[in-house]
Structure 1
Amino acid sequence: MRTTLLVAGLLVTLSPVFGQITRLQAEINQVISRKKATVSVGIYDIGSRQSLYINGDKYAPMQSVYKFHVALAVLKEVDKGRFRLTQKMRIRKSDLVPDLYSPIGEAHPNGVELPLSEIIRYMVAESDGSACDYLFRLLGGTKPVNDFIHQLGVWDVFIAATEEKMQAKGNWDVQYTNRTTQKAMISLMKLFYEKKILSPASHTFLWDVMLSTVTGPDRLKKGLPAGTPIAHKTGTSGTNKGGMMGAVNDAGFMTLPNGKHVAISVFVTNSTEGIEANERIIADIAKLTYAYFAKTK
């Protein structure tokens, strides 16, 4: 039986090993208390099955974390035989959205032909917005991705807007249409980790791509000992006129010294703390989580 507590105004859900993991919860609470932000956390130790959620049922904007969901949907179609990872695809100049973060566009402003595997890599590892919207079009829009995630039994996820629409000037509120909860995020990550979504080959491909992520080095990755593998996906909003960032996020799998993994997702929402402080929150939570589970093994 799970236990739910209201601690310092935060809804905290703990696994049955309540007495052990409350120390970690208390340490995380110290990190996020008095912050001018809503911080939601999901942690699941795959070996012991211990879990911890802070604001686990609260919706938060995913921003580019949803590119993990898009990658799952595309790779599922690869597994069905609709596409091949080696298949060459033409990205036209018109596919490169002006003012959208796009390493592909920077390297190939007039368009380029790339294998599908490389487009996915750009989208996940480098968080390329044009690559994401190209793959949305390949699948038929945002709805097929949203429906696919729901078909997996993960319901508290809503994917409604493309990168172009979400990042357009004056569209601040659109980011909140692409939302999830930490319980849903961890549920999806567990399904992926347990190889219940993709074929072994597609699973390994996406895992390796996530290991190569270059965005957000000062988030989860910074909280871990140097050289610790972490397969993750970040998400970041802009800052509005009031100095608020809608989302500074990171979700992934940290590797413990014994080779086992912990799924962790931290979303910092509607924060006026500033980007450095927001990233430090994520790094500090990662550091505490790693220390806790490394010691309990």
Structure 2
Amino acid sequence: MICIGLNVNAQLSTLRNNISNIAKDAQGTVGISIINLDTRDTLSFNGNSKLPMQSVMKFPIAITVLHAVDQHKLALNQLIHITKNDLPKTYSPLGDKFPNGNVDISISELLSYMVSLSDNNACDILLKVLGGPEKAEAYMHQIGIKNIAIKASEAQMATAWNVQFNNWCEPNAIAHLLDISFKSNFLSKSSHAYLWQIMQATSTGPNQIKGLLPKNTVVYHKTGRSGTNAAGITAATNDVGIITLPNGKHVAVAIFISNSKVDLAMRESVIARIAKAVYDNAIE
């Protein structure tokens, strides 16, 4: 493990111990991966664990859609006809706005719904446009993100508890994806700008990565959260993204909490405290 920021042994030890102590409060598996995008220092804590993504998968799906746009296979202003059958009952601001369907929505708007609002129906509509989850997984593998699996749609994940575990990634893999996709030459200029615009506009999980950071800190992120089963276990409470530091530099952070026994407030507190520890360490 390499400490973010100054390579001082005491600083490394303090940060490692701090994260380890915070993670215990989750009473589950906590996986963390950090990359300082400027110094290239990294930190990994269970970073090679295969953990369920839930809606974090919408980040690589968005990248895959934007790649298709850059390949001229799709267009941001392309209209997709939405029927009532495309809007099953689930978490969906899109479905709330157009409960009867029969509306044409642009791909750019569907991307905004999917990423910024974490809309499940928008996600599945875009997966259908792509040709299925396997297209997103294949593109991730093509660009070198190997330790990730995108097998099931949101609707499929809703059919049974265990299906969500088919969509997994290693925290190190998603941090690497954050790193490479933040580079200005990863997508076209317009697609790159739109990706990070909708990531910055994410409204879900305000108490997670952003929870304890200074109020005006710019964070580009994507959350993911499962339900809680009858045994009181929550499979996934996740937040991944890029934190902007006061000096204008950036840190990529992926925080996953899996199979936790504690309530949402505590899970979010764990994520917030870890993000704050990383932020504080990076600006020292």
TM-score, normalised to structure 1, is 0.91
For residues 48 and 34 of structure 1, the distance between their equivalents in structure 2, rounded to whole angstroms, comes to: 30
For residues 240 and 148 of structure 1, the distance between their equivalents in structure 2, rounded to whole angstroms, comes to: 32
For residues 285 and 213 of structure 1, the distance between their equivalents in structure 2, rounded to whole angstroms, comes to: 19
Aligned counterpart, 1:294: 283
For residues 34 and 284 of structure 1, the distance between their equivalents in structure 2, rounded to whole angstroms, comes to: 11
For residues 127 and 73 of structure 1, the distance between their equivalents in structure 2, rounded to whole angstroms, comes to: 16
Aligned counterpart, 1:84: 75
Checking the alignment, whether the CA contact within 8 Å between 2:235 and 2:258 is kept in structure 1 is yes
TM-aligned CA deviation for residue 97 of structure 1: 1.6
Aligned counterpart, 1:263: 252
1:101 and 2:65 matched:
no
For residues 209 and 80 of structure 1, the distance between their equivalents in structure 2, rounded to whole angstroms, comes to: 20
For residues 84 and 204 of structure 1, the distance between their equivalents in structure 2, rounded to whole angstroms, comes to: 15
Aligned counterpart, 2:216: 227
Checking the alignment, whether the CA contact within 8 Å between 1:223 and 1:285 is kept in structure 2 is no
For residues 35 and 245 of structure 1, the distance between their equivalents in structure 2, rounded to whole angstroms, comes to: 10
TM-aligned CA deviation for residue 196 of structure 1: 4.9
Aligned counterpart, 1:4: none
TM-aligned CA deviation for residue 15 of structure 1: 6.0
Checking the alignment, whether the CA contact within 8 Å between 2:26 and 2:257 is kept in structure 1 is no
TM-aligned CA deviation for residue 191 of structure 1: 0.9
The one of 189, 204, 225 aligned to 1:236: 225
Checking the alignment, whether the CA contact within 8 Å between 1:268 and 1:278 is kept in structure 2 is yes
TM-score, normalised to structure 2, is 0.95
**What 5-or-longer segments of structure 1 have no aligned partner?**
1-12
TM-aligned CA deviation for residue 22 of structure 1: 3.1
For residues 121 and 204 of structure 1, the distance between their equivalents in structure 2, rounded to whole angstroms, comes to: 13
For residues 59 and 196 of structure 1, the distance between their equivalents in structure 2, rounded to whole angstroms, comes to: 29
**What 5-or-longer segments of structure 2 have no aligned partner?**
none
The one of 31, 36, 43 aligned to 2:22: 31
Checking the alignment, whether the CA contact within 8 Å between 1:61 and 1:176 is kept in structure 2 is yes
Aligned counterpart, 1:199: 188
The one of 40, 43, 51 aligned to 2:31: 40
TM-aligned CA deviation for residue 21 of structure 1: 2.8
Q: Deviations over 1:3-34 (max 9, x none)?
A: xxxxxxxxxx3369472433211111121125
For residues 95 and 189 of structure 2, the distance between their equivalents in structure 1, rounded to whole angstroms, comes to: 31
Q: Deviations over 1:245-294 (max 9, x none)?
A: 00000000011001111000100100011111101000000111111111
1:110 and 2:100 matched:
yes
How many residue pairs are counted as aligned between the two chains?
280
Q: Deviations over 1:34-75 (max 9, x none)?
A: 541111111111111111000011110000000001000000
Identity across aligned pairs (percent)?
Answer: 39
